[in-house]
Amino acid sequence: MKKMRPEGRDVHGNEMRHNPVSGQWVIYSLSRRKRPSDMAGARSERESRPDYDEQCPFCPGHERELPGIILECRGGESPWRLRVVENKFPALTPGGDLQRKRHGLYLCMQGYGHHEVVIESPVHNRQIPLMTQDEVEMIIEAYHRRYLDLMKLERNMLIVIFRNYGSRAGASLAHPHSQIISTGLVPEHVREQEYRAQRYFDDWGHCLYCDLLEEELAAGERIINENPSFVSFIPYAAERPFEIWVMPRSHKAHFGDVSEREKSDLAACMRILLRMLRQTLNDPDYNYVIHSSAKYRSGEPQAHWFLKISPRLTTRAGFEIGSGMSINTSLPEEDAAFLRAGGQGVAGGEKNATQI
């Protein structure tokens, strides 16, 4: 076997490679193989999870194991209420540069980026549906501050804020947490959606997302929740059962531009939605992601940030891999009615994670 080529790798061994067939960059992070997991049998054990776990690296008392505390919110009885820390097993690291290198037909580069963890509470079993409005606002505030600070760094081109809940959603630890990754390039997938929105704007002179929000409000049947700043709905062409988009009413390309009022209203909305999922769908595993514009696009009229919740009730299989299309076994209108009714008395009868 030939020796491995180290040119594209940073000091931590992270590397990125470009797939010429799909146009996507792939991140190679061998250190993530070593990350700990306490998620075995996680769903059945959720109910009985304690408020403190000696083994959990995010519970108080494990400070020495955390590689670096970036942000800490204090107050209350515990020495801290929320922490943002460096990920000990980062997918990307801030060392190295953005220089692409040729590797025969291919391109590679160092795995530049930031990878942070938002430890949302010192309490091991305090998931968002159990939190107060203040606590959830603190999480959104932490997202916002880190978004602004990371975007200020010249090489960061995109900030992805996300939460993986449960092992089917890719979480390896049970303690309440979200993650933030910054990348030094704009992925093909994001450019593609940018391009579609740009063309729509060029054709119609409107923001696609504003028009879509107006359409959903006029139809009404897929709306789940409204407050002064946000409308939550299951989109007309949802890819998965119970996929929820939380759309700001105010047109802003950039999550960094949210107002104080919007942060508070987003927290209120997330509490309601995640409680709803927990109660009506038997606490399903889910991901949520904040979709925001790439660097240099924050002022553009066609981009509109939003948050997407993707419950992991079904599995993408071979047809989805081959075609890119999704097969959804649930109709958006029915899913929305089911959630609005608190999981009661809707055509199709009782649903739960195992029936979909």
DSSP 13-51: S-EEEE-TTT--EEEE-GGGGG-----TTHHHHGGG--S
Catalytic residue from among 177, 254, 291, 304:
177
Q: Which helix (H) or strand (E) is 214 found in, with range?
A: helix 208-219
Residues 18-47 binding its own copies (CB under 8 A) are 18-30, 32-33
Q: What is the contact mask toward its own copies in residues 42 to 81, using x (rule: CB under 8 A)?
A: ----------------------------------------
Query: How far is the first Cα of the chain from the last one, in angstroms, to the nearest whole number?
Result: 47
For its own copies, the closer CB: 179 or 282: 179
Distance CA(356)–CA(328), nearest Å, equals 9
Residues 6+ apart with CB under 8 A from 245: 232, 233, 234, 235, 306, 307, 308, 309
Using the rule CB under 8 A, which residue among 12, 83, 291, 297 binds its own copies?
Answer: 291
Question: Per CB under 8 A, does 224 bind its own copies?
Answer: no
Using the rule CB under 8 A, which residue among 1, 54, 55, 203 binds its own copies?
Answer: 1
For its own copies, the closer CB: 66 or 223: 223
For its own copies, the closer CB: 32 or 72: 32
> Across 19-145, where does the E strand assignment appear?
25-28, 69-73, 82-86, 101-103, 106-110, 113-119
Annotation says 177 is catalytic: yes
For its own copies, the closer CB: 240 or 271: 240
Distance CA(255)–CA(142), nearest Å, equals 12
For its own copies, the closer CB: 172 or 227: 172
Question: Per CB under 8 A, does 300 bind its own copies?
Answer: no
Question: Per CB under 8 A, does 324 bind its own copies?
Answer: yes
Question: Per CB under 8 A, does 225 bind its own copies?
Answer: no
| Closest distance of CB 78 from its own copies, Å | 27
Question: Per CB under 8 A, does 158 bind its own copies?
Answer: yes
Question: Per CB under 8 A, does 349 bind its own copies?
Answer: no
Distance CA(206)–CA(209), nearest Å, equals 9
Of 202, 231, 199, nearest in space to 218 by CA: 231
Q: Tokens in use for 90?
A: 């980062």
Using the rule CB under 8 A, which residue among 60, 129, 187, 301 binds its own copies?
Answer: 187
